[in-house]
Structure 1
Amino acid sequence: MAVLTRWISRGVRSLLALGLVLVLVSCSAAAAGLNSFQSPDGRYAFLYPTGWTRVQVTEGPQVVFHDLINADETLSLVVSDVNETNDLQNLGSAVAVGEKLRRVVIAPEGSGREAELVEAREREDGGRTFYDLEYAVHLPDRDRHELATVVVDRGRLYTFAASTNELRWPKVQGLFHQVITSFTLRI
Protein backbone atom coordinates (compact mmCIF):
# COMPACT_ATOMS: atom_id res chain seq x y z
CA MET A 1 0.00 0.00 0.00
CA ALA A 2 2.82 2.40 0.90
CA VAL A 3 4.48 1.69 -2.47
CA LEU A 4 1.24 2.44 -4.30
CA THR A 5 0.80 5.72 -2.37
CA ARG A 6 4.37 6.83 -3.24
CA TRP A 7 3.85 5.86 -6.89
CA ILE A 8 0.61 7.90 -7.09
CA SER A 9 2.27 10.82 -5.31
CA ARG A 10 5.17 10.81 -7.82
CA GLY A 11 2.72 10.59 -10.68
CA VAL A 12 0.74 13.58 -9.42
CA ARG A 13 3.94 15.61 -8.97
CA SER A 14 5.09 14.63 -12.47
CA LEU A 15 1.75 15.68 -13.94
CA LEU A 16 1.89 19.00 -12.08
CA ALA A 17 5.45 19.63 -13.29
CA LEU A 18 4.47 18.77 -16.86
CA GLY A 19 1.47 21.10 -16.62
CA LEU A 20 3.66 23.93 -15.34
CA VAL A 21 6.14 23.41 -18.20
CA LEU A 22 3.32 23.48 -20.76
CA VAL A 23 1.92 26.70 -19.30
CA LEU A 24 5.33 28.39 -19.31
CA VAL A 25 6.07 27.28 -22.89
CA SER A 26 2.70 28.53 -24.16
CA CYS A 27 3.17 31.89 -22.42
CA SER A 28 6.64 32.37 -23.88
CA ALA A 29 5.39 31.33 -27.33
CA ALA A 30 2.68 34.02 -27.19
CA ALA A 31 5.21 36.67 -26.17
CA ALA A 32 7.66 35.40 -28.78
CA GLY A 33 5.22 36.39 -31.55
CA LEU A 34 5.98 40.10 -31.17
CA ASN A 35 9.13 42.20 -30.90
CA SER A 36 9.35 45.73 -29.56
CA PHE A 37 10.59 48.80 -31.41
CA GLN A 38 11.39 52.17 -29.88
CA SER A 39 12.37 55.31 -31.76
CA PRO A 40 15.98 56.43 -31.26
CA ASP A 41 14.78 59.52 -29.36
CA GLY A 42 12.48 57.43 -27.13
CA ARG A 43 9.40 59.36 -28.28
CA TYR A 44 7.30 56.41 -29.46
CA ALA A 45 7.27 52.62 -29.32
CA PHE A 46 5.28 49.74 -30.77
CA LEU A 47 5.27 45.99 -31.24
CA TYR A 48 5.85 44.28 -34.57
CA PRO A 49 5.56 40.59 -35.58
CA THR A 50 8.54 38.28 -35.22
CA GLY A 51 9.97 37.46 -38.64
CA TRP A 52 9.38 40.96 -39.98
CA THR A 53 12.29 43.15 -40.96
CA ARG A 54 12.78 46.89 -41.06
CA VAL A 55 13.14 48.46 -44.49
CA GLN A 56 15.07 51.70 -44.90
CA VAL A 57 13.21 54.27 -46.99
CA THR A 58 14.50 57.70 -48.00
CA GLU A 59 11.15 59.39 -48.59
CA GLY A 60 7.73 58.69 -47.18
CA PRO A 61 7.12 56.82 -43.93
CA GLN A 62 9.51 57.32 -41.03
CA VAL A 63 9.48 53.59 -40.21
CA VAL A 64 8.58 50.61 -42.43
CA PHE A 65 8.58 46.90 -41.59
CA HIS A 66 7.49 44.02 -43.81
CA ASP A 67 7.02 40.29 -43.43
CA LEU A 68 9.88 38.24 -44.91
CA ILE A 69 7.53 35.46 -46.02
CA ASN A 70 4.51 37.52 -47.12
CA ALA A 71 6.33 40.57 -48.46
CA ASP A 72 3.11 42.46 -49.21
CA GLU A 73 2.30 42.60 -45.49
CA THR A 74 3.59 45.92 -44.21
CA LEU A 75 3.71 48.11 -41.15
CA SER A 76 4.45 51.82 -41.50
CA LEU A 77 4.60 54.98 -39.46
CA VAL A 78 4.08 58.39 -41.04
CA VAL A 79 4.72 61.49 -38.94
CA SER A 80 3.23 64.75 -40.24
CA ASP A 81 3.29 68.27 -38.88
CA VAL A 82 0.02 69.81 -37.73
CA ASN A 83 -0.79 73.06 -35.95
CA GLU A 84 0.90 73.01 -32.53
CA THR A 85 -2.38 73.90 -30.81
CA ASN A 86 -4.38 71.09 -32.47
CA ASP A 87 -5.40 67.93 -30.73
CA LEU A 88 -7.01 64.98 -32.46
CA GLN A 89 -10.57 66.05 -31.68
CA ASN A 90 -9.89 69.44 -33.35
CA LEU A 91 -9.18 67.55 -36.57
CA GLY A 92 -12.61 65.91 -36.37
CA SER A 93 -14.32 62.77 -35.13
CA ALA A 94 -12.85 59.30 -35.72
CA VAL A 95 -15.13 58.90 -38.75
CA ALA A 96 -14.23 62.36 -40.17
CA VAL A 97 -10.47 61.77 -39.78
CA GLY A 98 -10.84 58.24 -41.16
CA GLU A 99 -12.73 59.51 -44.21
CA LYS A 100 -10.15 62.25 -44.84
CA LEU A 101 -7.31 59.73 -44.59
CA ARG A 102 -9.22 57.49 -47.02
CA ARG A 103 -9.71 60.30 -49.57
CA VAL A 104 -6.29 61.96 -49.30
CA VAL A 105 -3.84 59.14 -48.55
CA ILE A 106 -5.28 55.66 -49.12
CA ALA A 107 -7.37 56.21 -52.26
CA PRO A 108 -6.86 59.72 -53.64
CA GLU A 109 -8.71 60.65 -56.79
CA GLY A 110 -6.92 59.35 -59.89
CA SER A 111 -4.92 56.71 -57.97
CA GLY A 112 -6.88 53.76 -59.36
CA ARG A 113 -7.63 52.65 -55.80
CA GLU A 114 -10.94 52.54 -54.00
CA ALA A 115 -11.25 52.32 -50.23
CA GLU A 116 -14.05 51.94 -47.75
CA LEU A 117 -13.82 52.96 -44.11
CA VAL A 118 -15.09 49.80 -42.42
CA GLU A 119 -14.81 50.97 -38.80
CA ALA A 120 -13.65 54.03 -36.87
CA ARG A 121 -13.28 53.98 -33.09
CA GLU A 122 -11.92 56.33 -30.47
CA ARG A 123 -9.89 55.07 -27.51
CA GLU A 124 -7.93 56.63 -24.67
CA ASP A 125 -4.45 55.41 -23.77
CA GLY A 126 -1.94 57.11 -21.50
CA GLY A 127 -4.03 60.28 -21.34
CA ARG A 128 -4.11 60.61 -25.14
CA THR A 129 -6.91 60.07 -27.64
CA PHE A 130 -6.30 57.61 -30.47
CA TYR A 131 -8.51 56.88 -33.47
CA ASP A 132 -8.38 53.26 -34.63
CA LEU A 133 -9.43 52.88 -38.26
CA GLU A 134 -10.13 49.88 -40.49
CA TYR A 135 -10.24 49.96 -44.29
CA ALA A 136 -11.09 47.62 -47.14
CA VAL A 137 -8.97 48.70 -50.12
CA HIS A 138 -9.60 47.69 -53.73
CA LEU A 139 -6.71 47.94 -56.17
CA PRO A 140 -7.02 47.07 -59.86
CA ASP A 141 -5.32 43.67 -59.36
CA ARG A 142 -6.15 42.73 -55.75
CA ASP A 143 -8.01 43.59 -52.57
CA ARG A 144 -6.27 44.61 -49.35
CA HIS A 145 -7.16 45.26 -45.74
CA GLU A 146 -5.61 47.98 -43.61
CA LEU A 147 -5.70 48.95 -39.95
CA ALA A 148 -4.41 52.30 -38.74
CA THR A 149 -4.23 54.29 -35.55
CA VAL A 150 -3.74 58.05 -35.43
CA VAL A 151 -2.77 60.34 -32.57
CA VAL A 152 -1.67 63.97 -32.29
CA ASP A 153 1.09 65.08 -29.94
CA ARG A 154 3.06 68.35 -29.80
CA GLY A 155 2.28 69.47 -33.31
CA ARG A 156 2.75 66.05 -34.91
CA LEU A 157 0.19 63.66 -36.35
CA TYR A 158 1.32 60.02 -36.04
CA THR A 159 -0.32 57.56 -38.45
CA PHE A 160 0.64 53.95 -37.72
CA ALA A 161 -0.74 51.40 -40.22
CA ALA A 162 -0.63 47.66 -40.95
CA SER A 163 -1.70 46.27 -44.30
CA THR A 164 -2.17 42.84 -45.90
CA ASN A 165 -3.94 41.24 -48.83
CA GLU A 166 -7.59 40.36 -48.27
CA LEU A 167 -6.93 36.61 -48.49
CA ARG A 168 -4.59 36.74 -45.46
CA TRP A 169 -6.76 39.13 -43.45
CA PRO A 170 -8.75 36.45 -41.55
CA LYS A 171 -5.47 34.85 -40.39
CA VAL A 172 -3.72 38.04 -39.24
CA GLN A 173 -6.49 40.38 -38.09
CA GLY A 174 -6.02 39.59 -34.37
CA LEU A 175 -2.27 40.07 -34.64
CA PHE A 176 -2.69 43.33 -36.57
CA HIS A 177 -5.13 44.69 -33.97
CA GLN A 178 -2.61 43.88 -31.25
CA VAL A 179 0.21 45.58 -33.20
CA ILE A 180 -1.78 48.73 -34.02
CA THR A 181 -3.02 49.24 -30.47
CA SER A 182 0.52 48.74 -29.13
CA PHE A 183 1.62 52.12 -30.56
CA THR A 184 2.39 54.45 -27.65
CA LEU A 185 3.90 57.86 -27.16
CA ARG A 186 6.45 57.70 -24.38
CA ILE A 187 7.50 61.31 -23.67
Structure 2
Amino acid sequence: MISLGVIAPWISVVNQTPVSFAAETKKGFLSVMDKKDGYSFLYPFGWQEVIIEGQDKVFKDVIEPLESVSVNMIPTSKGSIQEFGPPQQVAETLIKKVLAPPTQKTKLIEVSEHEDDGKTYYTFEFVAQAPNYTRHALSTISIGNGKFYTLTTGANERRWEKMKDKLHTVIDSFKIFNV
Protein backbone atom coordinates (compact mmCIF):
# COMPACT_ATOMS: atom_id res chain seq x y z
CA MET A 1 0.00 0.00 0.00
CA ILE A 2 2.77 2.45 0.88
CA SER A 3 4.65 1.78 -2.36
CA LEU A 4 1.39 2.17 -4.31
CA GLY A 5 0.90 5.58 -2.69
CA VAL A 6 4.36 6.61 -3.94
CA ILE A 7 4.19 5.01 -7.39
CA ALA A 8 0.64 6.03 -8.44
CA PRO A 9 1.30 9.81 -8.41
CA TRP A 10 4.60 9.24 -10.23
CA ILE A 11 2.82 7.25 -12.98
CA SER A 12 0.28 10.04 -13.53
CA VAL A 13 3.14 12.55 -13.96
CA VAL A 14 4.98 10.26 -16.39
CA ASN A 15 1.82 9.72 -18.46
CA GLN A 16 1.18 13.43 -19.02
CA THR A 17 1.47 14.52 -22.61
CA PRO A 18 4.16 16.98 -23.67
CA VAL A 19 1.38 19.54 -24.19
CA SER A 20 0.61 19.43 -20.47
CA PHE A 21 4.24 20.04 -19.68
CA ALA A 22 4.41 22.85 -22.24
CA ALA A 23 1.48 24.53 -20.53
CA GLU A 24 3.48 24.61 -17.31
CA THR A 25 6.69 25.96 -18.83
CA LYS A 26 5.74 29.63 -18.40
CA LYS A 27 3.80 30.74 -15.34
CA GLY A 28 0.54 32.46 -16.20
CA PHE A 29 0.23 30.95 -19.68
CA LEU A 30 -1.53 28.00 -21.29
CA SER A 31 -0.40 26.13 -24.38
CA VAL A 32 -2.04 25.38 -27.72
CA MET A 33 -0.62 22.64 -29.89
CA ASP A 34 -2.45 22.04 -33.16
CA LYS A 35 -1.08 18.71 -34.41
CA LYS A 36 -3.32 18.77 -37.49
CA ASP A 37 -2.16 22.18 -38.76
CA GLY A 38 1.38 22.05 -37.31
CA TYR A 39 1.73 24.98 -34.91
CA SER A 40 1.94 25.80 -31.21
CA PHE A 41 1.89 28.92 -29.03
CA LEU A 42 1.24 30.14 -25.50
CA TYR A 43 -1.57 32.48 -24.45
CA PRO A 44 -2.32 34.20 -21.12
CA PHE A 45 -4.24 32.25 -18.50
CA GLY A 46 -7.81 33.53 -18.30
CA TRP A 47 -8.32 34.19 -21.99
CA GLN A 48 -11.10 32.12 -23.51
CA GLU A 49 -11.36 30.49 -26.90
CA VAL A 50 -13.92 32.04 -29.23
CA ILE A 51 -14.94 30.98 -32.72
CA ILE A 52 -14.46 33.60 -35.44
CA GLU A 53 -15.14 32.65 -39.03
CA GLY A 54 -11.99 32.66 -41.13
CA GLN A 55 -9.64 32.24 -38.16
CA ASP A 56 -8.15 28.90 -37.13
CA LYS A 57 -7.82 29.75 -33.42
CA VAL A 58 -8.79 32.81 -31.39
CA PHE A 59 -8.42 33.45 -27.66
CA LYS A 60 -9.69 36.67 -26.03
CA ASP A 61 -9.81 38.34 -22.66
CA VAL A 62 -13.50 38.45 -21.71
CA ILE A 63 -13.21 41.88 -20.06
CA GLU A 64 -10.81 43.56 -22.51
CA PRO A 65 -11.96 42.41 -25.99
CA LEU A 66 -9.00 44.04 -27.80
CA GLU A 67 -6.68 41.72 -25.85
CA SER A 68 -6.59 38.65 -28.04
CA VAL A 69 -4.52 36.27 -30.09
CA SER A 70 -5.51 34.71 -33.39
CA VAL A 71 -3.96 32.30 -35.86
CA ASN A 72 -4.83 32.32 -39.53
CA MET A 73 -3.49 30.14 -42.36
CA ILE A 74 -3.81 30.26 -46.11
CA PRO A 75 -2.38 27.82 -48.65
CA THR A 76 0.78 28.89 -50.46
CA SER A 77 3.18 27.43 -52.97
CA LYS A 78 6.06 29.46 -51.50
CA GLY A 79 8.70 27.61 -49.49
CA SER A 80 9.81 30.50 -47.28
CA ILE A 81 8.44 33.82 -46.06
CA GLN A 82 11.50 35.45 -47.66
CA GLU A 83 10.06 34.69 -51.12
CA PHE A 84 7.43 37.39 -50.48
CA GLY A 85 10.10 40.04 -49.95
CA PRO A 86 12.02 41.75 -47.16
CA PRO A 87 10.43 41.91 -43.66
CA GLN A 88 9.58 45.65 -43.76
CA GLN A 89 7.80 45.42 -47.12
CA VAL A 90 5.86 42.25 -46.21
CA ALA A 91 4.81 43.69 -42.82
CA GLU A 92 3.58 46.97 -44.35
CA THR A 93 1.57 45.13 -47.02
CA LEU A 94 -0.01 42.72 -44.51
CA ILE A 95 -0.95 45.49 -42.09
CA LYS A 96 -2.57 47.65 -44.78
CA LYS A 97 -4.32 44.87 -46.71
CA VAL A 98 -5.10 42.16 -44.12
CA LEU A 99 -4.45 42.95 -40.45
CA ALA A 100 -6.23 46.32 -40.18
CA PRO A 101 -9.37 47.62 -41.88
CA PRO A 102 -8.67 50.12 -44.69
CA THR A 103 -10.47 52.82 -42.69
CA GLN A 104 -7.90 52.65 -39.87
CA LYS A 105 -4.69 54.65 -39.79
CA THR A 106 -1.75 52.28 -39.26
CA LYS A 107 1.86 52.71 -38.26
CA LEU A 108 4.59 50.08 -38.42
CA ILE A 109 6.84 50.43 -35.36
CA GLU A 110 9.40 47.63 -35.56
CA VAL A 111 10.24 44.63 -37.75
CA SER A 112 12.61 41.71 -37.16
CA GLU A 113 13.53 38.41 -38.78
CA HIS A 114 14.70 35.25 -37.07
CA GLU A 115 15.15 31.59 -37.84
CA ASP A 116 14.01 28.69 -35.67
CA ASP A 117 14.34 25.02 -36.57
CA GLY A 118 15.02 25.84 -40.24
CA LYS A 119 12.00 28.13 -40.63
CA THR A 120 12.22 31.90 -41.10
CA TYR A 121 9.83 34.12 -39.13
CA TYR A 122 9.08 37.82 -39.63
CA THR A 123 7.86 39.53 -36.47
CA PHE A 124 6.52 43.07 -36.35
CA GLU A 125 4.87 45.59 -34.06
CA PHE A 126 2.26 48.08 -35.25
CA VAL A 127 -0.63 50.27 -34.18
CA ALA A 128 -4.02 50.59 -35.87
CA GLN A 129 -6.09 53.63 -35.03
CA ALA A 130 -9.87 53.51 -35.27
CA PRO A 131 -12.10 56.51 -34.49
CA ASN A 132 -12.77 55.37 -30.90
CA TYR A 133 -9.69 53.30 -29.96
CA THR A 134 -6.12 52.42 -30.92
CA ARG A 135 -4.95 48.81 -30.96
CA HIS A 136 -1.27 48.08 -30.37
CA ALA A 137 -0.41 44.73 -31.95
CA LEU A 138 2.33 42.21 -32.60
CA SER A 139 2.34 39.70 -35.47
CA THR A 140 4.59 36.88 -36.51
CA ILE A 141 4.41 35.19 -39.89
CA SER A 142 6.07 32.16 -41.42
CA ILE A 143 5.60 29.41 -43.99
CA GLY A 144 5.48 25.66 -43.48
CA ASN A 145 3.37 22.66 -44.47
CA GLY A 146 2.29 24.49 -47.66
CA LYS A 147 0.66 27.24 -45.58
CA PHE A 148 1.26 30.91 -44.82
CA TYR A 149 0.77 31.27 -41.04
CA THR A 150 -0.10 34.54 -39.30
CA LEU A 151 -0.32 34.87 -35.51
CA THR A 152 -1.45 38.28 -34.26
CA THR A 153 -1.92 39.47 -30.69
CA GLY A 154 -2.55 42.88 -29.23
CA ALA A 155 -4.23 45.16 -26.73
CA ASN A 156 -5.88 48.54 -26.48
CA GLU A 157 -3.17 51.24 -26.57
CA ARG A 158 -4.17 52.40 -23.08
CA ARG A 159 -3.27 48.93 -21.71
CA TRP A 160 -0.17 48.34 -23.86
CA GLU A 161 2.38 49.04 -21.11
CA LYS A 162 0.65 46.58 -18.77
CA MET A 163 0.25 43.88 -21.44
CA LYS A 164 3.32 44.18 -23.69
CA ASP A 165 5.50 41.62 -21.86
CA LYS A 166 2.70 39.03 -21.96
CA LEU A 167 2.05 39.73 -25.63
CA HIS A 168 5.74 39.41 -26.46
CA THR A 169 5.69 36.01 -24.71
CA VAL A 170 2.78 34.96 -26.96
CA ILE A 171 4.54 36.11 -30.14
CA ASP A 172 7.88 34.58 -29.16
CA SER A 173 6.26 31.23 -28.35
CA PHE A 174 4.78 30.70 -31.83
CA LYS A 175 6.36 27.71 -33.59
CA ILE A 176 5.54 25.83 -36.77
CA PHE A 177 6.33 22.14 -36.99
CA ASN A 178 6.07 19.66 -39.86
CA VAL A 179 2.91 17.55 -40.13
Return the TM-score normalized by structure 1.
0.77
Aligned in 2, Cα 1:99/1:82: closer, same or farther, shift over 3 Å? same
Greater radius of gyration (CA): 1
Aligned partner (choices 117, 132, 145) of residue 126 of structure 1: 117
SS at 1:31's partner residue? coil
**Where in structure 2 are the equivalents of 1:58-137 lying within 5 Å?**
59-83=53-77, 85-108=78-101, 111-137=102-128
Distance across 2 between alignment mates of 1:107 and 1:184: 23
Supply the RMSD in Å over aligned alpha carbons. Answer: 1.7
| Code of the aligned partner of 2:59 | F
Asked if structure 2 preserves the Cα contact closer than 8 Å seen for 1:44 and 1:185, the reply is yes
CA distance in 2, matches of 1:88, 1:40: 21
Once the two structures are superposed, what CA deviation does each residue of 1:69-106 show, in whole Å capped at 9, x if it has no partner?
A: 322211000101122x4311110111011011012113
CA contact (8 A) 1:43 1:185 kept: yes
Residue pair 1:106, 1:115 contacting (<8 A) in 2 also: no
Q: How many pairs align?
A: 155
Q: 2:169 aligns with which of 146, 156, 178?
A: 178
Q: Match of 2:124, as an amino acid?
A: L
Distance in 2, Cα, partners of 1:35 & 1:82: 29
Unpaired runs of 5+ residues, structure 2, are 1-23
Q: Displacement, 1:30?
A: 8.5
In the other structure, the counterpart of 1:157 is: 148
Q: In 2 relative to 1, CA 124–52 (structure 1 residues): closer, same or farther, beyond 3 Å?
A: same
Is this contact kept in 1: 2:38–2:145, CA < 8 A?
no
TM-score if structure 2 supplies the norm length? 0.81
Task: Tell me the equivalent position of 1:50.
Answer: 45
Instruction: State the SS of the aligned residue for 1:168.
Output: helix
State the AA in 1 paired with 2:87: A
Report if the CA contact (8 A) 2:122-2:142 is conserved: yes
Q: Which structure 1 segments of 5+ residues have no match?
A: 1-28
CA displacement, residues 5-46 of structure 1 (integer Å, 9 cap, x when unaligned): xxxxxxxxxxxxxxxxxxxxxxxx983311101114261111
Aligned residue for 2:158, secondary structure, equals coil
**Sequence identity (%):** 34
CA contact (8 A) 1:112 1:140 kept: no
Offset at 1:162? 0.2
Say whether the 8 Å CA contact 2:137–2:153 is kept in structure 1: yes
- In structure 2, do the counterparts of structure 1 residues 138 and 75 end up closer, same or farther at CA, with 3 Å as the change threshold? same
